[in-house]
Amino acid sequence: MKILIIGGTGHVGTYLVPRLVMAGHELIVVSRQKKEPYFVHHAWKSVRQIMIDRVKSDKDYKFGKQISGLKPDIVIDMICFEPRSAKRLAEELYGRVRHFLLCGTIWVHGSSEIVPTDESQPRKPFGDYGIKKAAIESWLMSFSHKTGFPATILHPGHIVGPGWVPLNPAGNFNPDVYKKLAAGEELILPNIGLETVHHVHADDVAQAFEKAINNRSTAIGESFHTVSPKALTLRGYAEAMAAWFGKDANLSYVPWRDWKNTVSEKDADATWDHIAHSPNCSIEKARKLIDYNPRYTSLQAVQESVKYLIDNKSL
């Protein structure tokens, strides 16, 4: 198959492009060519890279035609954040592709209610990002069901991999949290540390895209959570990381209204975004319909990533 990935050099593309090339597909990657994959793989030698800025091109209504003009059999849209952009692209590709896959997010659910959350639960997103991704999902799935447009949506959790700082046990991206746990220093968590986070290794997200393509008949018209097998509480995550560093976790707890004043505004905003969602998603549907079988638990994914930061003196 000729597979085109829009935004294929990032966290997921780094793993997905080599997977698809090794499986014998012809790959086209569209990006602004600012970002490099996180690691070198010989598969990239056979990839055709095309420079297009999606945002600029969309403004001129050119983007869909540029993509369809490359005559792909399959399109993977990794970077769609605007409902009108999804609509224009899908309408342009209607009747022209065998499969259209779009990257969503578990933020489409809003706050967790009945856990683990499954894909059938009503969407109650909040925040611009989650609301728009849910609108994209709603429109695309209904377009697929009404017209037979071959669309699939994959909803990753917090994407983790060697090369960037994972979401930490305080629910933000400040690397000092790991330093405190490694040194056995006190780490203050919001509330009683029982809110949840749900990571996924970038290679497992890539696996889900590959398996959705391989299981096209059961993937079309469906959306799937793409997360590790189990979510973590902040407290459980902190304790496991401290143990991994060979320390006992020295945790204390402060109600959110006071906790937010103990960190920077940036960290507080990130933590609020994560604990207000407290994701805990089921992967049973993806296991059953596309044979998704994540290689990493949340902790394995995070630990591989933190080890990389330590080995590269970034932590």
10 binds ligand NAP (CB under 6 A): yes
Whether the CB-CB separation of 75 and 101 falls below 8 Å is answered with yes
135 binds ligand NAP (CB under 6 A): no
Residue 163: which of 308, 315, 307, 300 has the closest Cα? 308
> Based on CB atoms, which residue is closest to ligand NAP, 92 or 249?
92
Binder to ligand NAP among 3, 4, 9, 207 (CB under 6 A)? 9
Candidates 47-55, 115-123, 230-238, 240-248 — which segment interacts with ligand NAP by CB under 6 A?
47-55
Residue 44, CB half-sphere, CA atoms under 13 Å: how many? 13
Shortest Cβ distance from residue 67 to ligand NAP (Å)?
A: 11
Residue 213: which of 42, 40, 27 has the closest Cα? 27
Candidates 25-33, 145-153, 184-192, 303-311 — which segment interacts with ligand NAP by CB under 6 A?
25-33
The set of long-range contacts for 51-58, using a CB threshold of 8 Å and a minimum separation of 24, is: 54/6, 54/7, 54/30, 54/79, 54/85, 58/82, 58/85, 58/88
151 beta partners: 100
Shortest Cβ distance from residue 257 to ligand NAP (Å)?
A: 27
In what helix (H) or strand (E) does residue 108 lie, and over which residues does it extend? none
105 binds ligand NAP (CB under 6 A): yes
> Based on CB atoms, which residue is closest to ligand NAP, 58 or 249?
58
Whether the CB-CB separation of 226 and 154 falls below 8 Å is answered with yes
DSSP string, 192-216: TS--EE-EEEHHHHHHHHHHHHHTH
Taking residues 152 to 171 in sequence order and writing x for each that binds ligand NAP by CB under 6 A, - otherwise, the string is ----x-xx------------
Q: What is the C-alpha to C-alpha distance for residues 311 and 315, in angstroms, rounded to an integer?
A: 8
Shortest Cβ distance from residue 246 to ligand NAP (Å)?
A: 28
78 binds ligand NAP (CB under 6 A): yes
123 binds ligand NAP (CB under 6 A): no
Contacts with ligand NAP: how many residues (CB under 6 A)?
A: 23
Candidates 51-59, 116-124, 241-249, 288-296 — which segment interacts with ligand NAP by CB under 6 A?
51-59
7 binds ligand NAP (CB under 6 A): yes
Q: Is 34 exposed, middle or buried (0-12, 13-18, 19+ CB in 10 A)?
A: exposed
The residues that touch ligand NAP, with contacts defined as CB under 6 A, are 7-13, 31-35, 52-55, 78-79, 103, 105, 156, 158-159
